[in-house]
A and B are shown apart, each in its own frame.
Chain A
Amino acid sequence: MTLPTQLVLRVLLAEPTKEMYGLQICAAAGLPSGTIHPILARLEGLGWLESRWEDASPHEEGRPRRRYYFWSKDGAEQARLALAQAHTSVSTIGLRAKPAGGLA
């Protein structure tokens, strides 16, 4: 699991019931804007995340609709397990994590 993916998972697990949009996740994870969609698409493909358009109308809000991401039924639990496993793997081989900001 790449470090950016781990950062995204940690952000979403920090408040598991909160729905967040892409730019918001990017900022919270400390990743450059525009780098997160491959990760979100992968997590959605795995069935860990789901997404929906916000309820508000663009006309009422005066801006385009945001796409919100949230955990699927068992997604958070699977993410916790995967993160724990990733942490164990890194510890076992004695690698130090690289700083954030690499390719998504």
Chain B
Amino acid sequence: MTSTAVRYRPGELAPSIAREVACELADALDRNNRALVEDLSRAWELADALASTNLRRVNTIQLYRARKLVRLLNHACPHTLINNLGPTRYPALIRLISPLLAAGIREDILVSDLSHVRRLARALARANDSANESGQPRARRIAPSAAALLVAAIRLLPAADRARYTEEFRSELWDLMQDGAGSARQVRYAFRQLSRAFLTSFELRFPRRRGAAP
């Protein structure tokens, strides 16, 4: 596996793939308010379905790369990922990682970013479970897990814009809370911000020229 010709710094390209995973998770959450663990499986199933049409194109080298990546991922995130990354997931993985491999990105950098998304996803699942199990009237307060996810989202934005978005996201979270949003809804809001932070960051770093299509 090549580890040379890395044309992007760590944290630049690899997050775009992490973003894909995060967006799938966010979309799954949009469609279904159940526990994230179920949605995680659904997100992978969606990825599988998308990738299944390319199954015949998977060649030996891609399969080797996918297997290696699975081992790295399982090493980075033991336990919960093992069931999610069986051989049937390889086509989905290949779809996700092929742009990175083509660009010469190192697998360990990708694994690091994906692992970050997974950790956040597990934190979200715990928060979601707690909210579901409590059965108590929802107190109007900012959910700490939502605030933590927003902090993670802010870190992905350009340094010059962080102060502005910190205040803007905090304001929106506060408005949601005042609107009666419980922990789960606040976390979903924050997770969507996180999943789109890469895109927001891209728009802030590379604004389109005037006259271009939006």
Contacts and interface: CB of A to CB of B under 8 A. Distances in A.
Contact of A37 (B167, B176, B200): B200
Interface residues of B, number: 33
Contact of A34 (B165, B167, B191, B204): B191
Given A34-B196, A37-B196, A104-B199, A43 B165 contact: no
Nearest to A49: B214
Contacts of B192: 32-35
Interface in A19-39: 21-23, 32-35, 37-39
B172 to A, nearest CB: 5
A64 B23 CA distance: 28
A15 B115 CA distance: 44
Given A37-B165, A64-B171, A67-B168, A46 B212 contact: yes
A23 B209 CA distance: 26
A42 interface: yes
Contacts of A66: 168, 171, 175
Contacts of A38: 196, 199-200, 202-203
Do most interface residues of chain A lie in helix, strand or loop, or is the interface mixed?
A: mixed
Do most interface residues of chain B lie in helix, strand or loop, or is the interface mixed?
A: helix
B23 A1 contact: no
Indicate the size class of the contact surface on chain A.
20 to 34
Given A67-B164, A67-B167, A1 B213 contact: yes
A41 B204 contact: yes
Contacts of B202: 38
A9 B214 CA distance: 10
A34 B81 CA distance: 27
Interface in B114-132: none
B27 interface: yes
Contacts of B212: 46
A102 to B, nearest CB: 8
20 contacts: A5-B214, A22-B168, A22-B172, A34-B188, A34-B189, A34-B192, A34-B196, A35-B196, A37-B165, A37-B193, A37-B196, A38-B199, A38-B200, A42-B203, A44-B207, A45-B207, A65-B167, A66-B171, A66-B175, A101-B30
Interface of A: 1, 5, 9, 21-23, 32-35, 37-39, 41-48, 53, 63-67, 79, 82, 101-104
- 3 smallest beta-carbon distances between A and B, as pairs: A45-B207, A34-B192, A41-B203
